[in-house]
Every structure is written in structure tokens, then in C-alpha cells.
A and B are shown apart, each in its own frame.
Chain A
Amino acid sequence: MTDENKPIIEIKGLTKIYDTGKIKVNALNGVDFSIKECELIAIMGPSGSGKSTMMNVLGCLDKPTDGTYHLDGTDVSTMSEDALAEIRNQKIGFVFQTFNLLSRTSALKNVELPMVYAKIPAAEREERAKKALSAVGLEERMYHMPNELSGGQQQRVAIARALVNDPKIILADEPTGNLDSRSSEEILLIFQQLNRAGKTIVIVTHEPDIAQHCKRNVVFKDGEIVTDKKVEHILDAKAVLEEINKKSHHLHPHLNQ
């Protein structure tokens, strides 16, 4: 089904200039870049290096100033806003640093949201949302409101929401930025499992630890790619989690029983 060598994302000469009137910021400077299907990539770099700008363009949230962007074979750099909305709905799943769940809306309803815009009937929506929540281990928390969930749980709801329309690509901008190390590891575990199941995943992070869980690391600096390398010793989130569990069990034997 998935062809390991076919590029799903192909970017050529991508430039993004923010024109704030007084000053022009070159957030991206003619970036050439491609992502093959089934990759797990970490985008790294110092603050202000253009990582988020890149993610916004990849996610069809923002249009480049110059350059071309082919997503899954189609040129999206010239598409209308509504056509892009449909692409985002069908092909891309977003995970944000701040989760961006709708408050006063249950986990289940939050996960249903992308399907609402895909015009899927209510019964099917609920079924699929429940499945997605089970896949991230939240079957018991479906009817909870976001403020009744921990940060890690909220981010898992967000991942379920990103998955529910079965997109090809998942884009995560600093998904663990607001989480403790254990919750971060749990999120990474889900990403690794999803990747194994065939999803292309792009994670923005500035933590080398997190990047070490990915297959490929791309480093940005001043709107340009300065490093693009394969990761040699990929960390397995499952193993790391077990390690953490063992330690905490050792320190606090009454927990985790």
C-alpha cells in the first residue's frame, strides 16, 4: 500500500517572507526538501529558525511567498483556501504544542470534529471517534472534558483527533513542549506505533532526546536547512518507558500497581 520511495512531500525553492510593513523577515530562504512515505522526521533548530513557518506551509495553513509545494502528487501552492481546507481535512493530521482542544466539549466530541467537516454521518462519527480514542488508550476518558484530563491525556485526545480521518501525514509542532518526560515518552510511543503502521510523521522539537526517537533529523538555521541526516541509534519509546517505570517503581513502590 505505501511505497517507501515515493515522495509524499516535495518542496522546491520554498521562500516565506513576513512583511510587517517596516521590516521584512525572511523566515524561509529557498528551501528544497522532500519527505518520503512512511518517514518519521524531526525538524530541529534554534528558536526563530523557521521551523513553525515550515510546518505551517507543510500543513497547508499558510501559503509560501515563492517556490512550489507538491503534496501527494498535487501542487497545493496555487490552491484556493477552501480546497486547502479539504486537503487539511483529508490528508493531514495536526498535533499542537498547546493541544487546542475545544473546552466545554467532551473528548469524544473533540475527536469527532474533523469528521463533522468531512460530512460523515453522526453514528459513524461516534464509532470511529471511539476507536481512535481506544487506540491512544483513552477508552475510559471519552466523556471527560479537556479540563478534567492531564496534559498527556489531552495531547492523546489531540492525536486521536488527528488520526480520525485517516490522514497520510501527521504534523506535530513541539507536541511534547508542555509535557513532562513520562507523558512525552508516551506520546512518542504512539507516534512510533503509528509510523510503523504506515503514517508519515513530522515532529518539530528543539530537544535532541525527542529527535533521537525519529528516523531522520533535519536542522534549520535562519530559514535554511543546515543538516539533514539519518539517525543511527533510534531510541525505542517502549524501552525508554519501561526504564522509566522500573525507576519510578524502585523509588515509589506504592505507585504504578
Chain B
Amino acid sequence: MDFFELVKLSLISLNANKMRSALTMLGVIIGVASVVAMISIGEGAKGLITKSIEDMGTNLLFVMPGQMKVGGGGHGMGSIQTLTFEDCREIEKNCPSVVGCAPEISKSAKIKAGNQNTVTQVVGTSERYPEVRNTKIAQGRYFTSLELHNQKKVAVLGQSVVDNIFFNIDPIGKDILINRIYFTVIGVLEAKGQSGFTNVDDMIMVPVTTFQKRLFGLDYLRNISVQVKSAELMDSAEQEVGELLRKRHRILNPDDDDFTIRKQTEMLNRMSDITSAFTMLLGGIAFISLLVGGIGIMNIMLVSVTERTREIGLRKAIGAKKADILKQFLIESIVLCVMGGLIGILSGIGMSYLIAKFGNWNTSVSTASILLSFGFSIAVGLFFGIYPANKASGLNCVEALRYE
């Protein structure tokens, strides 16, 4: 019997038990749909994180306090307080491959404006931040190096903070209280939106000197973003920064470094590794439901073989070979899975669309995930169809014909 006739035959037989076929297919539909949707969630997260790292600016190095060694050991990164604003300025001044640096230190603080209160992250940085970290001003202006030098109490607000405490009022020139100290709002940052789980617009930027001396009384930094002139100069910039900091911190052996330099590309790779793992985890869970669907297929195919014992006996009596019967039942189970798979792919695409729309989460349906789940549904049909089909083809003709 040729392939198309077998497909037609299986459609007829599946049509004979519509409800049963539909319910069986539902298992595969749910499995495939969740594979497609879960992978789209993972891929969406990956795209978002990649984009947010790229949004930070280009050709960046990140200098962090403490040492990060592969395989543990050393001081924990960020746990020591050796990095200072002077380090930042010296890097800017003395490293030829460097365009500029943006220091960063942040703490959460209570904000008050009029009778509105909120709690948000206050970030201390320098006038170079907008340029280095690729951040634009939506309204007003950024603070100047003079304001930074004079430890002025000026603040640039993130869009969410404006939304939370000013509503529709123009915030420029207004006063706000940060931990009960008056600041003047001079600008508003352009909204960047959600980045993974954090809202990057929910923060206030103040001069790092004001932050350290007037607000919190500290003298260290959490990190320094270093912008390098070009991608080719990344390695030499890393070396220059390293040497400079070692000299300033009186470190002779690079093994004793009290800082870590990371390239942006490295971070990108690490993040994409993490999101890939996340995608695989989600996909794996979904794949298990596809397997459960497959077990449903096997179950129904076994029932079908039993019900059609006489038919199998008759077919064998009039000349069907073992392989003919095997093919007939195998194709029936594959048709069931492929139909379920196609419907599942469509519902998966629909689901990821709905998740994007109502779940406030980026999703991205990839062709690869569609092909993958389609391939898997054929494989599930084959794998779970083999046993019942083999059982059918192995039936004894005489006994099958006598089966009641």
C-alpha cells in the first residue's frame, strides 16, 4: 500500500472515533504548544537581556572591586571597598585607549516630593555617564563636572520616579527630598523600560561626590564603566587599566589584584549562557508534557489494535504482510501526532503572542523551535506507535480472525 493510501486509511479510521482521536491529540497539542511557547519565552528573555547589555553602551569594560577567580578563591567580587572615584578619574586621564569612565555606586533611599513618598535606587555617578552608558536625557539637562566638583545637590530622575511622584507636573526645577536632604531636579532620563526582572527607569542619578559625601558618607564605588575607543583596543585598554590600578593600589603581582576587569562581550556571553540554560529548562519541562502526550498515543493505539483484531486478521488472511500491518498502524499514530503537532504549533504561537501581550514579557517564536517541536511530534508518533504497531503486525492470523 502506498504512503498516501495509508494516510487516507488512517484518517478514515481516526475519523471513525472523532472524540477519542481529538482527546488523544490534545495530549500532543498541549505538549507541542508548551514546547513552542516555553522556548519563545526563553528566547524572548535572551533577546531582552542581550539588548539591555547592548543598551549599556558599546566597547565597555567594567571594573569591579574584589577578585573573581575561576573555581572560587580570592576575595568575593564587590565585597571589598577599594575602588574610588579618584581611580576613575585617573583611568580617564592616563589610559590612552580610554574615551571616558562612569563610576557607579547606588543605594536605596526614601524620596519625598510635596506629599508624595517613594523608595527608589539612588545612583551616584559622574558627568560622563550619559556618554559612556549610552543614556539620553528626555527633559532638562544632566549635571556638569563643575556641579560634581562642588558636590551640588542636583538630581536627574528616571521616568518611573517622575511617574510615581510628579504625575503630570513638570518636575524640572522642583525640589525633592532624598533621605531628608533637599535636591533640585534638573533633568529626566529617557525611558529604557523593563530589563529582565528589573525596571531600569526606577532610579535617581546624583553626582557621585554628592552621593558619597553628603548623602551616605562613603568613599568607595561599586563599579566603573570604562568606554574604550574601539573594539580593537579592548585588550590594550584592559591592560592599561589593570596596570594603572595596580600601581595606585600598590599591587606587585596580578594574582593579588583587588579588582576585576570584565569585558562587555564576556558578560554578554555569560548572560546568554544563563538564558540558554533557562530556555532549556523551560523547553525540557514542556518536552516532558509532550512525552506524556506520547504515552496517551500509545495507550489509544493499543486499544485500537485490540478493537481491530479481527480487521487485522482479515487483512493478513487476504495477503497483508507483517510490514503492511506495521506501516498501517505506525502511520496512524504518526498522523495523529503530526496533526496534534500542527495544531500545537499554532496554539503555541498564539500562546506566546498572548504572553507577550498580557504577561508583559518579551517572547520570540523561532523557526528552529517550530521545526524542533514538529520533528519531535513525528518522533513521538514513531516511538510510541512502534510498540502497538508491532503488536498488531505480530498477531496470529487464525486467532485474530476468531477474536470476539
Contact = CB atoms under 8 A, between A and B. Distances in A.
Interface string B295-338: 00000000000000011011111111111100000000000000
B318 A161 contact: yes
A116 B8 CA distance: 13
B5 interface: yes
Interface string A108-131: 000001101111001000000000
A90 B316 CA distance: 13
Given A102-B311, A104-B12, A104-B16, A113 B318 contact: yes
A88 B314 contact: no
A81 interface: yes
A62 B317 CA distance: 10
Contact of A85 (B1, B5, B16, B316): B316
A104 B18 CA distance: 14
Contacts of A61: 317, 397-398, 401
Interface in A70-84: 81-82
Nearest to A53: B398
Contact of B322 (A81, A100, A105, A122): A81
Interface residues of A, number: 26
Contacts of A114: 318-319
Given A100-B401, A102-B311, A117-B1, A88 B321 contact: no
Interface in A83-109: 85-86, 88-90, 94, 96, 100, 102, 104-105
Contact of B317 (A59, A86, A105, A118): A59
A162 B326 CA distance: 23
* B contact face: mostly helix, strand, loop, or mixed: helix
Given A61-B397, A96-B401, A102 B318 contact: no
A92 B5 CA distance: 24
Contacts of A118: 319
Contacts of A100: 310, 313-314, 317, 401
B231 to A, nearest CB: 65
Interface in A170-196: none
B319 A117 contact: yes
A56 interface: yes
A160 to B, nearest CB: 12
B401 A117 contact: no
A96 B398 CA distance: 12
A117 B322 contact: no
Contacts of A96: 401
B318 A88 contact: yes
B317 A117 contact: no
Given A56-B398, A85-B316, A117 B12 contact: no
B317 A88 contact: yes
Interface centre among A56, A96, A105, A116 (most CB of B within 10 A): A116
A90 B16 contact: no
Of the candidates B1, B313, B320, B324, the one having the most CB atoms from chain A within 10 angstroms of its own CB is B320
A29 B293 CA distance: 52
A117 B320 contact: yes
Contacts of A86: 319, 321
Contacts of B16: 104
A84 to B, nearest CB: 9
A116 B5 contact: yes
A177 B316 CA distance: 23
Nearest to A118: B319
A122 to B, nearest CB: 8
A127 B4 CA distance: 20
A42 B361 CA distance: 79
A62 B396 CA distance: 9
Interface of A: 56, 59, 61-62, 81-82, 85-86, 88-90, 94, 96, 100, 102, 104-105, 113-114, 116-119, 122, 161, 165
Interface of B: 1, 5, 12, 16, 310-311, 313-324, 397-398, 401
Given A81-B322, A90-B319, A100-B401, 15 more contacts: A61-B397, A61-B398, A62-B397, A81-B321, A82-B321, A85-B322, A86-B321, A94-B318, A102-B311, A104-B12, A104-B16, A117-B1, A117-B321, A118-B319, A119-B1
Which 7 residue pairs are nearest across A and B when measured between Cβ atoms?
A89-B319, A117-B319, A114-B318, A100-B314, A82-B321, A85-B321, A61-B397
